[in-house]
Amino acid sequence: MPQGDKSAYTDKQQRKAQHIEEGYEKRGVSQEEVEKRAWATVNKQDGGGKKSGSGRAGKKKD
């Protein structure tokens, strides 16, 4: 997956990013900065795109 590819994100994450972008656009932020900030926010809140693979469920404490 090339850098910048948003296909790994869920529909909910994409909607969230779009909503964040709209808020920044209303404030007059440049389009390039709007997109960077929106996806950075989604990544910070949700930890990135779809996750899969073994060991993703969390670590058990003994």
- Calculate ∠ Cα 20-2-43, nearest 5°: 30
Say what the pLDDT of residue 62 is.
57
- pLDDT given at position 2: 64
Structure confidence by residue, pLDDT tens digits, 7-33: 888 899 999 999 999 999 999 999 999
Residue whose tokens read 């994100």: 9
- What is this structure's pTM? 0.69
Cα separation, 62 vs 56, in Å, equals 18
8 Å CB contact between 24 and 38: yes
